Structure 1
Amino acid sequence: MDEMRRIRKALIAKSAGLVAVLYAYMLFILPKARERTPRIYYGPPSERDSVRQCNLSYLPHGSTNCLNQLRMMRAPFFQLCNLFRDRALLRDSIHSSVEEQVAMFLLVVGHNHRFRALQPTFRRSIETISRYFREVLYAVGELRNEMITALTTQTHMKITTNPRFNPYFKDCIGAIDGTHVDARVPSAISAAFRGRKGVPTQNVMAAVDFDLRFTYVLAGWEGSAHDALILADALEKDDGLSVPAGKDYLVDAGYAARPGFLPPFRGCRYHLREYSRRNYPHDMRELFNLRHSSLRVTVERAFGALKNRFKILYNRPFHPYKTQVKLVLACCILHNWILQFGQDPHIPEEEELEDSSDKEDDDLEEDNISTAQ
């Protein structure tokens, strides 16, 4: 017992001595070492900083240049930066402003640039550009709940003011369709992502209102997944797609007829290019399909505008697959943000989609119907 006490007292004495030595080091020796360390004084900007500021000021300079480089006009760009700054989603630093961080992100998603391609413009390291890219991607994703949502369930003016659609589609609040976005995945799982095009893609399902705004987006499914399976998954999710009572979404023939979803008649002509002044509809079913196609082209215009604006969705991206899924959602959010400030040349007209998109839909519907059978 006495031996244990002596050992305890010895340990206490050694601990007290160690604390005293550390205290003396921090009180006397460390301050003198700091005094000998040369201090860093900030001087005038270097030539690299001057070039960086010049390039950054040139990007949003002028509406045309801002639209070509950053894929949006000056007003939405600067208001988006101010929104991130006000909500503390992004912050200025002594090295980089919020405008520079957002410009890096927009150049990547707008032109599918690699990070090393931005080094001559921003004079930053690849690590710095990658870090800011992830921060802006997270900031854009935080706007999802307020940007990807249905603003109203009222009948749109496009229907109420057109006797071709009213009152036959008076309960329609939008259109639903899927699109394939090129994906880069490991070779071990690439077979599941290969659809009819033979290249890995992710199948993205989206609901669009008649203002070309995305009201729901589900990304991440393999390119070989059936559209009906993706729709079923969207309806089963807790925060998934919900159809208001008494309302409908226009869908193509790849989806089944069910409450809330209005497909065209099968076995009848459907696409706009199949009709003309000499080849007019012969019965009520063909007339319904013609007007259904004329109204559902809205979702094709939305997808066309999305891929025209953000080329990262039109090419194989240089990012992990989880990031690719987030990028699809981010591009849809930015698309809705830009539409608040009016339309721009990236949105295709309906006439431009009659031939190209309808032919693609024909192939997709044949695949979907054959798979369902």
Structure 2
Amino acid sequence: MDRNKERNAIVGVVASVLAFGALWIKKLKTRKEITSSPRVNRDNERENYINSILYSGDQHCIDVIRMRPITFFNLCDILSVNNLLQPSKAVNIREQVVIFLHIIGHNVRFRVIGSRYYRSTETVHRYFRVVLRAILKLYRLVIRLPDESTPSEIRNNPRFYPYFKDCIGALDGTYIRASVPLSMQGRFRSRKGGTTQNVLAAITFDLKFSYVLAGWEGSAHDSRILSDSLSRPGGLRIPEGKYYLVDLGYAIRNGCITPYRGVRYHLKEFGAEGPENAKELFNLRHSSLRITVERVFGILKKRFRALDAEPFWNFQTQVDILLACCIIHNHIMGVDPSNLLNQGLYEASESDLIIPTLTEREERQEAREWSAKRDEIAQTMWTDYMARNI
């Protein structure tokens, strides 16, 4: 009797196992097969993406890296021939420069760029630094003080010549957003609000930078920054008798001519009416020339979104990026690569001497002399203007 019970129990267990096994097998047969996605060939995907940027037309290339392909390849050639950039086993020069331009053109985070180019964040960060250092070494080649000749934009325009024949450019400051530690934010807060760095730039009339001084705190006055640029070794140099056009944020002084105060200045202030006296005519034409510097600042900030967005680098890197953007701007605006390749990269500055500061008496005398020069220009201009309109 016990043996029968034992045998029945075994048969029941076996039957249960077989039933469960049959059910499990049935489920396996009806279950949808899970397929794994094909493995991405990162090298091919990266190469295809870079080629799509450089070979899909000028406009697409400008949209992504802010310059046409021919300008990009010229820049790569300059950096390569002068041994400022070297290819590595993993990343060639073309990719290094594309990634750098993509970041500063759109203010893209390293991790986002890494995902798009199938690179690690560490790799993107490392080569960003490498390219930034290389670009900065082009400063003396690409950003140069103007010579003493009259700019063609003045020489070929009867509205400006011969009155502004000694003018070599326009000079002004602009605010660039800055991210600084909390303890420094008071000094970097500008009158327009927010923390900024105050950047001084001299611009030639062909829309290029001829001098840039970055890194001053946003609360610093324009005149103070100008004085610093004139006194530091390798700083701004103004040839004897030549001058820059500046706005009323500066004082009239040796090498800088301001418009007249309390007189209509901008074109929109004149409306349909023309200038009514010598001072208004001078201000109108002064404005027409000096607006060049505002145009360049506008172009720079639109081209490189890293300058017009919240920075995510330390402050020294923010200053370096601003200078790099100015260098690249000049390259885009017409620097001839063949000329660049034939010149030395490390030329000594024209003067390493510190220019002594003037006494208050000398500054007043200087202001009187340049005010008289401005009056002479304005009166000559007005005489000729009236003669043509009689």
Q: Are 2:207 and 1:212 equivalent residues in the alignment?
A: yes
Letter in 2 for 1:101: Q
Query: Alignment partner of 1:189: what SS?
Result: helix
Structure 1 residue aligned with 2:315: 321
Structure 1 consecutive aligned stretches of length 4 or more whose deviation exceeds 3 Å: none
Q: Are 2:197 and 1:202 equivalent residues in the alignment?
A: yes
| 1:336 paired residue among 317, 326, 330 | 330
1:155–1:171 Cα contact (<8 Å) kept: yes
Structure 1 residue aligned with 2:53: 59
For residues 21-58 of structure 1, give each alpha carbon's deviation from its aligned partner in whole angstroms, at most 9, with x where no partner exists.
Answer: xxxxxxxxxxxxxxxxxxxxxxxx97111111111211
- 1:10-21 counterparts in 2 under 5 A? none
| 1:169 paired residue among 143, 164, 167 | 164
For residues 171-225 of structure 1, give each alpha carbon's deviation from its aligned partner in whole angstroms, at most 9, with x where no partner exists.
Answer: 0000000010001111111111111221000000000011111000000001111
Distance 1:254 1:128 in 2: 44
CA drift at 1:318: 1.0
- 1:29-178 counterparts in 2 under 5 A? 47-61=41-55, 62-178=57-173
Query: How many pairs does the alignment contain?
Result: 297
Q: Are 2:291 and 1:305 equivalent residues in the alignment?
A: no
TM-score (norm 2): 0.74
Letter in 1 for 2:129: R
Structure 1 residue aligned with 2:357: none
CA drift at 1:151: 4.6
Structure 1 residue aligned with 2:268: 273
Letter in 1 for 2:168: I
CA drift at 1:317: 1.4
RMSD value, Cα: 1.4
Structure 2, unpaired ranges of 5+:
1-38, 337-390
Distance 2:285 2:82 in 1: 44
* Paired-residue identity, %: 50
Q: Are 2:258 and 1:263 equivalent residues in the alignment?
A: yes
Q: Report which structure shows greater RCO (CA 8 Å, sep ≥6).
A: 2
Distance 1:151 1:158 in 2: 13
Structure 2 residue aligned with 1:367: none
Structure 1 residue aligned with 2:362: none
Letter in 2 for 1:48: R
Structure number with larger C-alpha Rg: 2
Distance 1:150 1:72 in 2: 24
CA drift at 1:341: 6.1
TM-score (norm 1): 0.78
1:313–1:328 Cα contact (<8 Å) kept: yes
CA drift at 1:77: 0.3
Distance 1:153 1:187 in 2: 45
Distance 2:40 2:234 in 1: 50
Distance 2:75 2:161 in 1: 37
1:60–1:70 Cα contact (<8 Å) kept: no
Structure 1 residue aligned with 2:384: none
1:76–1:341 Cα contact (<8 Å) kept: no
CA drift at 1:150: 2.6
Distance 1:121 1:174 in 2: 42
Letter in 1 for 2:155: T
Q: Are 2:247 and 1:252 equivalent residues in the alignment?
A: yes
Distance 1:134 1:52 in 2: 20
* Worse-matched range after superposition: 103-112 or 160-169: 160-169
